Structure formats: structure tokens, C-alpha cells
Structure 1
Amino acid sequence: MSGTLCIDGIAVPFSDGQTIIEAARSAGVYIPYLCHRPGYAPYGSCKLCTVKVNGRTNTACTLPAADGQTVISNSPDLQHDRQRITQMLFVEGNHFCPSCEKSGNCQLQAVAYHQNMLDNHYPHFYAQRELDASHPDILIDHDRCIFCNLCVRASKEKDGKEVFGIAGRGIHKRLIVNSPSGKLKDSDISVDDEAAHVCPTGAILVKRSAYLAPIGERIYDHHPISEVACEKAVLDTQAAKGHASCDQAQLAGQVPQNSGSDSHYAASMPPAPDIKHGR
């Protein structure tokens, strides 16, 4: 089954089996996320993709798209909540962008810029977490892990190895390595594994590759994440030809009459700042 839903006043077509975030991405409409990855099963842990669907909040990466849905993804209260979530992620670990090898390629950093997060309202936690550099090709900086579970899922579902796991709860939660010693060197992870490359922060890095792309020439140095996240999907679906408004779709009987009622929120939000080198 396919149909059309309305996202921030834009009529967005979807295909059978797509979630709201997948339909939005295919149409070039960016909804922030950190634990989601195209081609992976829905997870819904980071809550950054929370939207309002017919007036009720839900995560866009887990909720299936349905014909006639009215989705608000860009209202002031949702933006406020996303900014606070992002700030809390920053204070819980070592996310000091100027000194991080992932700067410019970091999804967490790019999301923070998209949320206009230029300072923080919370004190830093300064957790003491170890760095595991025992493997010849891959390292883990546990102080940068945001527990998105992408590496856990990639290792199990894509690589068939189950190298990683999550243990503990609350402030005692931690990423673990399933090896006799608990160290990467004794695991069967390979630099070719998908699990070594899916981390949205600098928690898992391939050694000797961090500075191959100079600062200023990295993924998010010149293009905001809202463009990068949607570009391939838009090209794949030929959605770049333009969007119909929900009013236009209503004329065709595709969406309810109240679908565009909150579309002014998207226009009222300030543009994301230019990404500065080394931030």
C-alpha cells in the first residue's frame, strides 16, 4: 500500500513499509536522528526524531507511514526538546569538538549545529571511562559513546558477529566487547566490518584514518546535515523536482483539511549557522 502524508505542510508520498522518517528522507524533508540508519530495523532510542502525528507524539523512525497522517516535525516545542536532548548527550561524555578526530564528520556535532546549539545549559558530567586501543586497527573511546546501539546492531545484523553489547543501566550503562578479556584485541572485529564504521560520534574510530581528510574538507564542513542526510534519497527517488503543498494535495483528496495548519513553524525557525572549521 502507498499513499500520502503531510509533514509540516508538505505533501509527502510514501511506499508500503516505509516509516515516517524514511518517507520524509525520500522526499528531502530532514528529521534529525542519531540512532537511526537507513537499511536498519527501527530502534527509537535517541528520541531526536520525535514528531507529532495527528496531535500525538511518536518517534518518526518507528512509526509506519499511513495515508492521511498529519505530521509536525519542526514546531518550537519539538525543537526545544531536541536541543535539550543534544545538550545532555554532550555533557555526558568527552564531546569537545576542536580536539576530536571526528570533527567535521561527526553526526552528533552536525545535529548540534542544526539545533543551533552554540552553548550548553547543563554542567559537564566528566565521567571516567576507559579508552580501548588494544586492537591494531580500531579503537573505542567509551567517553564518546551515546548508546545509540548502532555498532551492536551492525555487528549482529550485518556482520553476523555480535562483537558489541550494552550492559548496565542509567549512569552505569556501558558499551562492552564480547571477548574473553573484554578488549577489542581479543574480539573477531575486522576493519572491514560495518560495525567499525557506523558510529555517529568519535566513539569507534579506525586508526590511521582520522585525518586523511583535512579539516575543512570533511562531510559536514560545507553542507549541513539536513542536506547530506537527504541528498542520496532524493536523487534515488527523483523527489528533487519539488514538493506539493498539503493544500494542493487536498484538492486531489489525498490528505485531511487540517494538514497544513502548523506549517508556519518550519518557516519561523532560524536557519542553521554555517559550520566552522574545527568545531
Structure 2
Amino acid sequence: MNNPTPAPFTPPCFEFDGQPVPLQPGDTILQAAQRAGHDVPHLCWHPDVSASASCRVCTVQVDGRPVAACTTTAAAGQRVQCHTSELRTHRLHLLQMLFVEGNHFCPGCEKSGNCLLQEQAAQAGMTELHYEALNPERPVDASHPDVLFEPNRCILCQLCVRASDEIDGKQVFAIGGHGIGTRLLINSESGQLGDSNLDVTDRAAHICPVGALLPKRVGFAVPMGQRTYDNEETRG
């Protein structure tokens, strides 16, 4: 009597915009979807540090319920929707608010072409601010010999906070304040970056998705046409 051929192993999956996505133990929705080649818009997520769900740009609907894809555990059988018209509108408004809450002038920023905020705005089809610009007064901190802190571009993603804590072990940064007064704090007696123990080789000095933390003397080193997002279809 012949033994029956065992059925091939099928990994557990969830549905992402109608497509099956295999998952591994401990996966978040964002991790599994990105690994499967799906785009999940995000700003405050980075694979090198823990997730915080602070920006909510990665919001998806799981079985009809809105959740942050970067912190929600993936489970077999979930029905995840990411690119509905409702969620696209939600992301567009979030991005517009980020632009008016700070002072973002993309043509004059050395991060242009490598800026995740700029790219997400382009993907969302953002063509105007919609809301009234707040134009906050935020003085630039150039006190560090090797790293510039430009708070006008900070989107409070907390990536530098987590990188300094989890990777560098220094806890140079923190978030403080409330409402429009919320800001990135620097762990030094003066509150200046130059008086902190940040080093230009620290991961926190390079993880910023926008142009808030920038190594000095390397501005515009990558020519146009070779930057991360220069050749994206969304650029036209």
C-alpha cells in the first residue's frame, strides 16, 4: 500500500488589498506587506528601530477597523485594506498638516530627492497645503561641529529618539511639550546639540527621514538624477 503524498506546506496568509500575503511569527502588517512587495506609506517606521505609530500615515483597515500597520500584529485570515479612497484622503490630510505645522521649503533643502516626507506627499498627490500655514519660529541649532539640527523640518517621527536609545545607547533626544509646542528635546544642560554627546557616526545622526538632522559639509553631495526618489514614476 502506497503512502499518500503529503500536501505541500502553505504558510499562513492574510489578504492585503485583495492579494494573499504570507506571514511569519511576530510579523506586523507593515513588515509582512513590505516583504511581499506591497507599498505601505509610512514616515515614522524604520526596520532598525522599534515601531511607535506616531505619524499614523501607515493607517490601514483590518476587517473594517483602522489600525497602524507598523504596530499591529499580522494574523492569518485578516482582510487588510491599504489603498482605499478613504485612506488616501486620510493620509493626504495628515501630510498637509505636517507641512503647515513646520517650515518646509523643498526647493532649498539639501534633503530634497532623499526626503521621505516629500516622497509621500508626491505619492499622495499633494499639490497644495489646504490648511493655513502656521509658520512657527524655530531657530536653527548649528552648535555641533559635525551635525546640523534644523527644527523647522522636524516632523516628530521619533526615529532619532529611538535610534539614540536603542542603537547608540546615549538617549540624546526626547520629545517634549504639547500641541503645536511639541518639539524635539536635546539632552544637554544648554539644550544645544553641540553640548550633547552625539557623534556624527551615531545612527541617530543619520536616521532622520527629512532634513532635520544633517551631517555638515556633505550637503548636495548626491547629484540630481541619482537621489533616492529622483526616478520614481510619481515624479512624472
TM-score range, shorter chain: over 0.9
- What is the deviation of 1:130? 1.4
Aligned to 1:70: 79
1:22 equivalent in alignment to 2:28: no
1:82 equivalent in alignment to 2:118: no
Runs of 4+ more than 3 Å apart: none
CA contact (8 A) 2:143 2:192 kept: yes
- What is the deviation of 1:42? 2.0
Structure 2: distance between partners of 1:223 and 1:38: 22
> Quick one: which of 19, 31, 43 aligns to 1:34?
43
Residue segments in structure 1 that go unaligned for 5+ positions in a row: 225-272
Structure 1: distance between partners of 2:131 and 2:226: 31
Superposed CA RMSD in Å reads 1.1
Aligned to 2:184: 175
| 1:131 counterpart SS class | coil
Aligned to 1:262: none
Aligned to 1:152: 161
> Quick one: which of 43, 60, 72 aligns to 1:51?
60
1:7 equivalent in alignment to 2:19: no
- What is the deviation of 1:3? 1.4
Aligned to 1:142: 151
Pick 1 or 2: higher relative contact order, CA cutoff 8 A, min separation 6: 1
Aligned to 2:235: 274
| 2:235 counterpart SS class | coil
Q: TM-score, normalised by structure 1?
A: 0.79
Aligned partner of 1:274: which letter? Answer: R
- What is the deviation of 1:90? 0.6
Identity over aligned residues, as a percent?
50
| 2:92 counterpart SS class | helix
Aligned to 2:213: 204
| 1:109 counterpart SS class | helix
Q: TM-score, normalised by structure 2?
A: 0.93
1:120 equivalent in alignment to 2:125: no
